Amino acid sequence: MVEDCNDPLTLAADLFCEEEMDLDTIEGAVEEILTAVGEDVGREGLLKTPRRVARSYQELLSGYRMDPRALLNEAVFDVAYDEMVIVRDIEFYSMCEHHMLPFIGRAHVAYIPTDKVIGLSKIPRIVNLFSRRLQVQERMTTQIAEFIDVVLNPQGVAVVVEGLHMCMMLRGVKKQNARMITSAMLGVFRNESSTRTEFLENIARGADSLRF
Protein backbone atom coordinates (compact mmCIF):
# COMPACT_ATOMS: atom_id res chain seq x y z
CA MET A 1 0.00 0.00 0.00
CA VAL A 2 2.48 2.63 1.16
CA GLU A 3 5.52 0.96 -0.34
CA ASP A 4 5.00 1.61 -4.04
CA CYS A 5 3.61 5.10 -3.95
CA ASN A 6 5.46 8.38 -4.35
CA ASP A 7 2.50 10.68 -4.68
CA PRO A 8 1.27 12.09 -1.34
CA LEU A 9 -2.34 12.44 -2.44
CA THR A 10 -2.65 8.94 -3.83
CA LEU A 11 -1.01 7.68 -0.72
CA ALA A 12 -3.42 9.67 1.41
CA ALA A 13 -6.44 8.33 -0.44
CA ASP A 14 -5.24 4.76 0.03
CA LEU A 15 -5.07 5.28 3.76
CA PHE A 16 -8.50 6.78 4.18
CA CYS A 17 -11.78 4.91 4.67
CA GLU A 18 -14.79 6.95 3.57
CA GLU A 19 -17.43 4.72 5.11
CA GLU A 20 -18.49 5.14 8.72
CA MET A 21 -17.64 2.32 11.07
CA ASP A 22 -20.55 -0.14 11.29
CA LEU A 23 -21.19 -0.04 15.04
CA ASP A 24 -24.36 -2.18 14.88
CA THR A 25 -22.48 -5.07 13.31
CA ILE A 26 -19.73 -4.81 15.92
CA GLU A 27 -22.36 -4.85 18.67
CA GLY A 28 -23.95 -7.98 17.26
CA ALA A 29 -20.57 -9.68 17.01
CA VAL A 30 -19.69 -8.78 20.61
CA GLU A 31 -22.99 -10.27 21.78
CA GLU A 32 -22.07 -13.47 19.99
CA ILE A 33 -18.64 -13.50 21.63
CA LEU A 34 -20.21 -12.99 25.07
CA THR A 35 -22.58 -15.89 24.50
CA ALA A 36 -19.77 -18.05 23.09
CA VAL A 37 -17.60 -17.60 26.19
CA GLY A 38 -20.51 -18.68 28.37
CA GLU A 39 -21.83 -15.33 29.54
CA ASP A 40 -25.40 -14.22 29.97
CA VAL A 41 -25.82 -11.24 27.63
CA GLY A 42 -28.92 -10.20 29.59
CA ARG A 43 -26.96 -9.78 32.83
CA GLU A 44 -27.14 -6.19 34.06
CA GLY A 45 -23.40 -5.46 33.89
CA LEU A 46 -23.26 -6.65 30.29
CA LEU A 47 -26.34 -4.97 28.90
CA LYS A 48 -24.46 -2.05 27.44
CA THR A 49 -21.18 -3.85 26.87
CA PRO A 50 -21.61 -4.52 23.15
CA ARG A 51 -22.25 -0.82 22.51
CA ARG A 52 -19.33 0.20 24.73
CA VAL A 53 -17.00 -2.18 22.92
CA ALA A 54 -18.16 -0.88 19.55
CA ARG A 55 -17.53 2.70 20.67
CA SER A 56 -14.11 1.84 22.02
CA TYR A 57 -13.19 0.28 18.67
CA GLN A 58 -14.36 3.47 17.05
CA GLU A 59 -11.70 5.31 19.05
CA LEU A 60 -8.96 2.68 19.07
CA LEU A 61 -9.25 2.16 15.32
CA SER A 62 -9.91 5.77 14.37
CA GLY A 63 -6.82 5.92 12.15
CA TYR A 64 -8.73 4.50 9.17
CA ARG A 65 -10.92 7.59 9.19
CA MET A 66 -8.29 10.25 9.82
CA ASP A 67 -7.99 12.05 6.52
CA PRO A 68 -4.29 12.42 5.70
CA ARG A 69 -5.10 15.24 3.28
CA ALA A 70 -6.69 17.26 6.08
CA LEU A 71 -3.71 16.43 8.26
CA LEU A 72 -1.28 17.80 5.71
CA ASN A 73 -3.40 20.77 4.77
CA GLU A 74 -1.45 24.00 5.22
CA ALA A 75 1.04 22.22 7.46
CA VAL A 76 3.96 21.83 5.05
CA PHE A 77 6.20 24.88 4.78
CA ASP A 78 9.14 25.89 2.60
CA VAL A 79 11.94 26.64 5.01
CA ALA A 80 15.68 26.92 4.51
CA TYR A 81 16.69 24.61 7.32
CA ASP A 82 18.80 21.53 6.87
CA GLU A 83 19.55 20.35 10.39
CA MET A 84 17.98 17.41 12.13
CA VAL A 85 14.42 17.81 13.46
CA ILE A 86 13.63 15.33 16.24
CA VAL A 87 10.31 14.68 17.98
CA ARG A 88 10.84 12.08 20.66
CA ASP A 89 8.70 10.22 23.20
CA ILE A 90 5.47 10.35 21.22
CA GLU A 91 3.03 8.10 23.04
CA PHE A 92 1.03 5.78 20.88
CA TYR A 93 -1.76 3.25 21.40
CA SER A 94 -2.28 0.57 18.82
CA MET A 95 -3.92 -2.84 18.38
CA CYS A 96 -2.05 -5.92 17.30
CA GLU A 97 -3.70 -7.36 14.22
CA HIS A 98 -2.98 -10.95 15.24
CA HIS A 99 -4.83 -10.91 18.57
CA MET A 100 -6.74 -7.61 18.57
CA LEU A 101 -5.05 -6.77 21.87
CA PRO A 102 -3.41 -3.42 22.55
CA PHE A 103 0.22 -2.62 22.14
CA ILE A 104 1.40 0.71 23.45
CA GLY A 105 4.62 2.62 23.71
CA ARG A 106 6.43 5.54 22.25
CA ALA A 107 7.77 6.58 18.91
CA HIS A 108 10.74 8.78 18.10
CA VAL A 109 10.79 10.50 14.76
CA ALA A 110 13.52 12.52 13.06
CA TYR A 111 14.10 13.97 9.64
CA ILE A 112 16.57 16.26 7.92
CA PRO A 113 14.73 18.61 5.56
CA THR A 114 15.70 19.31 1.97
CA ASP A 115 13.55 22.44 1.59
CA LYS A 116 10.27 21.58 3.32
CA VAL A 117 9.30 21.14 6.97
CA ILE A 118 6.04 20.03 8.55
CA GLY A 119 4.31 21.68 11.51
CA LEU A 120 5.62 20.08 14.68
CA SER A 121 2.22 19.03 16.02
CA LYS A 122 1.60 17.05 12.83
CA ILE A 123 4.21 14.45 13.61
CA PRO A 124 2.28 12.98 16.57
CA ARG A 125 -0.79 13.06 14.32
CA ILE A 126 1.04 11.03 11.71
CA VAL A 127 1.89 8.54 14.46
CA ASN A 128 -1.83 8.40 15.38
CA LEU A 129 -2.82 7.94 11.75
CA PHE A 130 -0.81 4.73 11.58
CA SER A 131 -1.11 3.49 15.17
CA ARG A 132 -4.89 3.65 15.49
CA ARG A 133 -5.36 0.71 13.18
CA LEU A 134 -4.91 -3.02 13.35
CA GLN A 135 -1.16 -3.17 13.07
CA VAL A 136 2.08 -4.97 13.51
CA GLN A 137 4.76 -2.76 15.01
CA GLU A 138 7.22 -3.38 12.18
CA ARG A 139 4.81 -2.15 9.51
CA MET A 140 3.67 0.81 11.60
CA THR A 141 7.29 1.94 11.94
CA THR A 142 7.94 1.69 8.21
CA GLN A 143 4.68 3.43 7.30
CA ILE A 144 5.43 6.44 9.51
CA ALA A 145 8.86 6.80 7.93
CA GLU A 146 7.66 6.34 4.36
CA PHE A 147 4.78 8.74 4.80
CA ILE A 148 7.11 11.52 5.95
CA ASP A 149 9.52 10.61 3.18
CA VAL A 150 6.82 10.97 0.51
CA VAL A 151 5.34 14.16 1.94
CA LEU A 152 8.54 16.12 2.64
CA ASN A 153 11.08 14.49 0.34
CA PRO A 154 13.71 15.12 3.04
CA GLN A 155 17.38 14.13 3.04
CA GLY A 156 16.43 11.34 5.39
CA VAL A 157 13.89 10.06 7.92
CA ALA A 158 14.40 7.94 11.01
CA VAL A 159 11.72 6.31 13.15
CA VAL A 160 12.30 4.19 16.25
CA VAL A 161 9.33 2.61 18.00
CA GLU A 162 9.38 0.94 21.40
CA GLY A 163 6.31 -1.13 22.20
CA LEU A 164 4.84 -3.30 24.95
CA HIS A 165 2.49 -5.92 23.59
CA MET A 166 -0.43 -7.15 25.69
CA CYS A 167 -0.57 -10.30 23.60
CA MET A 168 2.93 -11.13 24.81
CA MET A 169 2.40 -9.98 28.41
CA LEU A 170 -0.92 -11.70 29.14
CA ARG A 171 -0.81 -14.87 27.09
CA GLY A 172 1.66 -17.17 25.37
CA VAL A 173 5.14 -16.50 26.74
CA LYS A 174 3.88 -14.00 29.40
CA LYS A 175 6.86 -11.73 29.37
CA GLN A 176 5.98 -8.60 31.33
CA ASN A 177 8.90 -6.42 30.46
CA ALA A 178 9.88 -7.47 26.98
CA ARG A 179 9.98 -4.33 24.91
CA MET A 180 9.90 -4.63 21.18
CA ILE A 181 12.06 -2.11 19.37
CA THR A 182 11.73 -1.48 15.65
CA SER A 183 13.34 1.09 13.44
CA ALA A 184 13.17 2.45 9.93
CA MET A 185 16.07 4.48 8.56
CA LEU A 186 15.83 6.18 5.18
CA GLY A 187 18.19 8.39 3.19
CA VAL A 188 21.06 9.91 5.18
CA PHE A 189 20.02 8.04 8.33
CA ARG A 190 20.59 4.82 6.46
CA ASN A 191 23.72 5.88 4.59
CA GLU A 192 25.60 7.92 7.18
CA SER A 193 26.39 6.26 10.46
CA SER A 194 27.26 9.58 12.15
CA THR A 195 23.78 10.94 11.40
CA ARG A 196 22.15 7.75 12.63
CA THR A 197 24.28 7.82 15.79
CA GLU A 198 23.38 11.44 16.51
CA PHE A 199 19.69 10.50 16.41
CA LEU A 200 20.08 7.33 18.47
CA GLU A 201 22.15 9.10 21.12
CA ASN A 202 19.58 11.85 21.35
CA ILE A 203 16.66 9.49 21.96
CA ALA A 204 18.67 7.44 24.49
CA ARG A 205 19.40 10.53 26.59
CA GLY A 206 17.26 10.62 29.74
CA ALA A 207 14.91 7.93 28.48
CA ASP A 208 12.61 6.35 31.11
CA SER A 209 11.91 2.66 30.94
CA LEU A 210 8.64 1.84 29.28
CA ARG A 211 5.81 0.39 31.34
CA PHE A 212 2.08 -0.03 31.19
Write out the catalytic residue numbers: 96-99, 137, 165, 167
Q: Assess contact for 87 and 159: CB atoms under 8 A.
A: no
96 binds Zn ion (CB under 5 A): yes
Please state the closest distance from residue 212 (CB atom) to Zn ion, in A: 15
Q: Assess contact for 163 and 130: CB atoms under 8 A.
A: no
Q: Assess contact for 102 and 57: CB atoms under 8 A.
A: no
Q: Is the dihedral of CA 11, 68, 106, 199 positive or negative?
A: positive
Stretch 100-139: interaction string toward Zn ion, x if CB under 5 A: ----------------------------------------
Please state the closest distance from residue 96 (CB atom) to Zn ion, in A: 3
Q: Assess contact for 101 and 167: CB atoms under 8 A.
A: yes
DSSP letters for 87-107: EEEEEEEEEETTT--EEEEEE
98 binds Zn ion (CB under 5 A): yes
Decide whether 99 or 179 has the Cβ nearer to Zn ion: 99
169 binds Zn ion (CB under 5 A): no
Q: Looking at 61-69, 82-90, 96-104, 151-159, which segment touches Zn ion (CB under 5 A)? A: 96-104
Please state the closest distance from residue 52 (CB atom) to Zn ion, in A: 22
Q: Looking at 9-17, 40-48, 165-173, 194-202, which segment touches Zn ion (CB under 5 A)? A: 165-173
Q: Assess contact for 54 and 26: CB atoms under 8 A.
A: yes
Among the listed residues 179, 114, 102, the one whose alpha carbon sits nearest the alpha carbon of residue 148: 114
Q: Looking at 20-28, 32-40, 97-105, 204-212, which segment touches Zn ion (CB under 5 A)? A: 97-105
95 binds Zn ion (CB under 5 A): no
Instruction: Name the pairing type of β-strands 85-96 and 134-135.
Output: parallel
Q: Interface with Zn ion by CB under 5 A: which residues? A: 96, 98-99, 167
